[in-house]
Structures are given as structure tokens and as C-alpha cells.
Chains A and B, each alone.
Chain A
Amino acid sequence: MTPAWLSRVALAVLLSAAMAAAQDAPPEVLISRQLAAEQGLTVGSIVQLAVDAEGTRARSFRVAGIYEPTPDPARLGAAPREVRLHLPDLLDLTRPPDVPAGAEYIGNINVALVDPADAAAFSRDVNARMPGVIARPSTEAAGSAGPFRVLERFHLAIAVVTIVAATVFLLALTIMLVDERRETVGILRLIGLPARRVLVQVLIEGLIVAGAGAAFGLVLALLSEGLINAFFQWRYDTALVFVRITRDVALTSAAIAVPLGASATVLASWALLRRSGLRLARR
């Protein structure tokens, strides 16, 4: 049963502990954590649900449990005030008086397949056999992930700009640092080390520094991951995970940062190493 279905039911929620004894085992419902917190409902509470705010055809239900709604990125910021009913109870509640039982329609049927890989073939089969019904694999129907895909692209663009800015600064810094070591490099050249040998040394140094920097960055990201998630989950009252440092993310970051740092060092050293040892060592 989807939230869209449930949201069509206007809810009048009235807590009434005294009614519990008066009713004969009312049907059970699940209440979203946010609604339970807002209305002070607990497991066992008796609530009244109706199709409109006036309380038309209100019926009593017993709260059998409190659940965490599936996070929906499309509804970020709106506290999900939801109730889950058994389908027959929902139909009984929402069916207009002039509609006979069994004549209602439903929005969606979710089907779990024995082999999920058969989803496309199963959908084609249903579409061919049942005109008027549209079956789609859930991967195609996951429209609610759209905002997240857009945010992913947005964050990627921001990351690219940040990398460009960091690269430019890194080059400026390495040029200065290499310049600071020109005398040392000059002496190494004068005692017989070929330029290629010095360049390898610079490259190894660059790799070590870039590797250490990338590792530090990853540790910082891991430490801040929890903080960022905690803040946004608190801010939007949701179970959505906003930041997740996965193995792939860590490897991608390292794969960008380490070669970039090492390349910047080698690039900055290249101009220096083309000069003679005497020129470099001269004060």
C-alpha cells in the first residue's frame, strides 16, 4: 500500500484510551513515527480514522505498531504523517455508501518474483495478457529517486570545481616548495645524480605526501560522515542517509588525489631539473 493511497484518506486522529474497553477488538493499524510523536500515540492506543476532517464514517483502530516510513527524497522536509491499514479495512473506510463492496479500484499491486531477474519478461507477459493494466519492473518505476540522481550530478559538478581549484593551488604550492629546494637539488646533481634519478625521488616524495594527504582526507570524511548525517536527519526528521563513504567513493577519491598530487610535484620540478646543477646550486 503506497503513501499516495494513504494520503488520500483525510485523517481525524483522536486519542481515546477510554474507548478501548468499549470497542470489541478494533482492527489494527501502523502509525508512522512522526505522527505518533506529534499526537503522543503509543502501541495499544485507540485512534479514530475518517475520510474527512468532519469525521464522516469514523471508525476506531488500535495502534499495533509504530514504523519508520521509507524515506522519500521527493518529500524531504515534510514530516510523513502516515497510517498503514490492512487493504480491506482501508476499502471499508473509504468506499462511498453507494459503491458495492468489491467494486473499488486500487492504484498499484506490488509483485515479488521468485527470480527478480525475470522482472522485464514478467512485465511484458502481464501487459500482453491483461489489457488496461500496465506492469513495469520496479527499477523503471522508481521515479522518486529522480531528485537524488539530480543532486548526485550537482554534487559531482561541485566536486569537479573543487578539484580544479585545489589543483591550481597545489601547483602554486609545489612550485614554491620545489623552488625552496633548488639548492639541494643542485647539490644532488653536482654529486652525480642524473636528472631522471632526482625526478624519481621527487615523484616518490610526491606520492608519499599525496597518499598521506588522501588518507588524512578520508579519515576526516569518515569522521564527519556521522556528524553530517546526524545533522540533516535531525533537521529533516528523516532516516535518509545523506553522506555515505563507500569503498568506491574512497577509492575514487584516492585515485584522483594521489596521481594529482604526484603529478603536480613532478610538473613543478620539471622546469627546475632542466637547469644545470651549477645554476641550481649557485646562491
Chain B
Amino acid sequence: MNALAFAWRSLVRQPARAILGVLGVAAVGALLFDMLLLSQGLITSMRDLLERSGWDIRVAATELPGRSGRLTGATAMAERIAALPSAKSVLIVRTADARIERSSGRPIDATFQGVARRSREGASITPPWTVTRGRDARGSDEAVIDTTIAEAAGVDVGGRITLRASCSADREALPPARLTVVGIAEFPFAGPNEAALGGSLETLRSACGGNAADDADLLLVTSAGESRETAAAIREAVPGVHALTNDDVVGRLQQTGFTYFRQISAVLTAVTVTFAVLLISVLLTVSVNQRLGEIAALRALGFSRSRVVADVLSESALIVGLGGLLSLPLGVALASGLDRILKGMPGIPADLHFFVFEGTALAVHLGLLAATALIAALYPMRIVSSLPIAATLRNEVIG
């Protein structure tokens, strides 16, 4: 019988402790797996989200688009950028807080995205939303809304909404604007609890009662060639703005706010691995101490020192291996729950995920579990390898 089969029988002989050991490793392993997914998940997801949007460069007043600060003189700025040979198209994006009236109940708080396009002839321009039903907003009294607004306000394509938008202060008392809903759209950068609607910049300004200055939160640029070179050309053409490629945005996010999750993931990874090593080590040590007589008898029967050491290592490998296997589905389920919790953070787009599966995370997970099995078995292996056969047997008989 090989060492693995022998270790299996040892575990089966004491099912309660074996099952509990495996379940313990599964729970710790699930947490470990999730922390590995968290360490790079947000960055991977953000990169994917930015690349899917179809825009190469984001021009903003601050380093991280979306944070406070607006671009002034946005129309002229967009035209200057669109005139660059390396720029294919430019989209001016201005957001405003909006309150959509309902026939009954509280108004719906929403974010209104107003866009204006500037492009070279023939270049297509993607809005920062995806129309799923109906068509995109074109006229000055048209808008596309997301499903949250559609359901809450009870309107569909062809219906009309009444809203009050605010472009300057937090809240203003403005006359209501009536818009026709021409499409239902998804807003990938809107938060999970955020209601959003989109339309032309002209529509937004008119909804704001003409109070909106010629400013923008963001200019989205599609480059005709290499995005890094286009970004440099934009910085040269429009001094004082931040023109960031998708890689730049991801890099800045890595260096700033989202590093918290990398740090917490590193800390929790270290804690869970240490926890697992300590507990499996204690389990194996107590188990080996209870079977010293049995192990000495096996040695006396002819089992070599390396063979009994291999038995202990196999036992550790079986507990960690089975627990590790269970930890994968558990980890995926746990990651889904934790992702839902973290996406409750204000300003996090609904399509952004904190936990993203990656092959490297799985490889690191397996590597760490293998190291755990080995390190946890070191002390009990030392006990069985240095076991004095005669003295142990004598103690067992007279003890």
C-alpha cells in the first residue's frame, strides 16, 4: 500500500476529525482564493470596462476622470482636439443631477449625461451608453433612460418624463423639462443603485434652465493611431488638461484609491495562510502524538523512516487537497456575495467587479495550498522521523 492510500485509511478511520479538518481548510481556502481574486480583480475589471467603451483617451480637469473639477470652454477645446490629425472623434460629456417626477411617490434621483459629438467626416461616435431597445437620442427634447428609471417611473419607449436638472449648485429650484423617451439604454459607468439617463448636451443645458456654462466633466477621444501619441498631442494642443489613455487611467487607479483593496488582500492572504498552516500543523501534531505507539510499531515491522514521514505528508496533502478542491466553489460563491457588498460603494459602476477570475490567481492559490500542506507537515514529520522505536513501544506497554 502506498503512502497516499495509507494516509487515506488513517483519515477514514477517524472521520469526524478528518471531515472537520477538510471543512476548515475549505473555509480558509475560500477566503484565500477570494483575496487572490481581489488583489487584481478591480484593475482587470476596470481595464476591461474602459476597453469595451471604445474610447482611447479621457481628457479631464483632474488626474482621475470623474473626480471634482470641470473643463471650461469645452466646445472650443473639443474642436481643437478634433482638428488634431491623430484624433478621430471627440465626445463632450457633461453630467448633472436630475430629479424625475412621478405621478405618485418621491421623485427619482438620477444622473443626466449630456453629450455632444465632434468628429472628422465619416468617423462614427459611440455614446457612453448602449441602447438596448428603441434608438439613441437625437433631438433636443429626447432622452434615453435606463431600466431603473423605466421601471420606477413606469415609462417605456415613446413615453414622456418630466425632470428638473441642476447643473450648478447642489439643488436648484428650476422649471421642469419634459422629454420624450426614445430608447432604453445601459450605462456601464453608472453605479448599481444609480439611475441614469442620457441625451444631447443641448437637452441637458435646456433642462438646466440655461444655467449650464460651456463646461464638461470629460472629453472622450478616439485616436486614429497610437493612443499614447494622441494623448501627448492633446496635452500639447490644450495645456493644463489631463489627457489619459486607458492604460494611464488604470495605472493611476492602481496607485491611488484602489490600492486599499490590494493592501487588504495582501494582509488577509498572509493571515489566512498563517492561520491554515498553524491549524493544520496542530491537527497533524496532535494526531501524530496520539498514534506514536502505532507509528513505532510500524517502524518495528519494517516501515522505513522516510515511509512514515511520507505517510504524514500524504495525510497533510489529503486534508489540504480535499479542502482546497472544496474551497474553489465555496470561494466563487463567497466572492459573488462580497462583490455585491463592495459594489454598494458610491460611484462604483455596475459593470465593475472587485473579484475577477484569473488563471494566475488560481495558480497562486494552488501553490499556496501546496506550500501550506508542506509547511504544516514539517513539525509532525520531524516527530515521526526522530521517534525512538524501542522507547516508544516500551512506554506504550508500561504507560
A-B contact pairs, 5 of them (CB 8 A): A77-B259, A105-B168, A105-B169, A154-B338, A168-B20
Interface of B is mostly: helix
Do residues A175 and B28 form an inter-chain contact, with CB atoms below 8 A? no
Residues of A within 8 A of B64 (CB): 78
Partner of A235, one of B27, B263, B347: B263
Q: Is A162 an interface residue (CB 8 A)?
A: yes
Do residues B337 and A157 form an inter-chain contact, with CB atoms below 8 A? yes
Do residues A168 and B345 form an inter-chain contact, with CB atoms below 8 A? no
Tally A residues with Cβ within 8 Å of B.
47
A78 CA to B30 CA in the complex, in Å?
A: 32
A158 CA to B341 CA in the complex, in Å?
A: 11
Residues of A within 8 A of B133 (CB): none
Residues of B within 8 A of A164 (CB): 27
**Provided the pairs A53-B240, A77-B255, A146-B346 are in contact, do residues A172 and B17 lie with their beta carbons within 8 angstroms?**
yes
Q: Chain B 51-88, CB within 8 Å of chain A: the 1/0 string?
A: 00000000000111001111000000000000000000
Do residues B20 and A171 form an inter-chain contact, with CB atoms below 8 A? yes
Do residues A147 and B279 form an inter-chain contact, with CB atoms below 8 A? no
A62 CA to B31 CA in the complex, in Å?
A: 53
Do residues B344 and A52 form an inter-chain contact, with CB atoms below 8 A? no
Residues of B at under 8 Å CB distance from A? Answer: 16-17, 20-21, 23-24, 27-28, 30-31, 62-64, 67-70, 168-173, 239-240, 255-260, 263, 268, 275, 279, 282-283, 286-287, 289-290, 334, 337-338, 341-342, 344-347
Residues of A within 8 A of B334 (CB): 161
Do residues B342 and A165 form an inter-chain contact, with CB atoms below 8 A? no
Do residues A158 and B31 form an inter-chain contact, with CB atoms below 8 A? yes
Near B by CB (< 8 A), chain A positions 189-243 give 232, 235-236
Do residues B27 and A179 form an inter-chain contact, with CB atoms below 8 A? no
Do residues A172 and B20 form an inter-chain contact, with CB atoms below 8 A? yes
Partner of B268, one of A76, A149, A151, A158: A158
**Provided the pairs A131-B173, A154-B342, A162-B31 are in contact, do residues A173 and B256 lie with their beta carbons within 8 angstroms?**
no
Do residues A147 and B24 form an inter-chain contact, with CB atoms below 8 A? no
Q: How far is the CB of A90 from chain B (nearest CB, A)?
A: 16
Partner of B31, one of A7, A107, A151, A161: A161
Do residues A157 and B283 form an inter-chain contact, with CB atoms below 8 A? no
A105 CA to B334 CA in the complex, in Å?
A: 49
Residues of A within 8 A of B289 (CB): 180
Residues of A at under 8 Å CB distance from B? Answer: 3-4, 7-8, 10, 52-54, 74-78, 105, 107-108, 131-132, 134, 143, 146-147, 149-151, 153-154, 157-158, 161-162, 164-166, 168-169, 171-173, 175-177, 179-180, 232, 235-236
Residues of A within 8 A of B239 (CB): 53
Residues of B within 8 A of A165 (CB): 24, 27-28, 31, 275
Residues of B within 8 A of A179 (CB): 290
Most buried by A among B16, B62, B171: B16
Partner of B345, one of A108, A131, A150, A236: A150
Do residues B341 and A157 form an inter-chain contact, with CB atoms below 8 A? yes
Do residues A7 and B345 form an inter-chain contact, with CB atoms below 8 A? no
Do residues B268 and A78 form an inter-chain contact, with CB atoms below 8 A? no
Chain A minimum-CB-distance residue to B253: A77
Residues of B within 8 A of A175 (CB): 16-17, 20
Do residues B68 and A168 form an inter-chain contact, with CB atoms below 8 A? no
Q: How far is the CB of B178 from chain A (nearest CB, A)?
A: 21
A80 CA to B25 CA in the complex, in Å?
A: 43
**Provided the pairs A164-B27, A172-B17 are in contact, do residues A4 and B290 lie with their beta carbons within 8 angstroms?**
no
Do residues A168 and B27 form an inter-chain contact, with CB atoms below 8 A? yes
**Provided the pairs A8-B68, A157-B338, A172-B24 are in contact, do residues A134 and B344 lie with their beta carbons within 8 angstroms?**
no
Residues of B within 8 A of A154 (CB): 338, 341-342
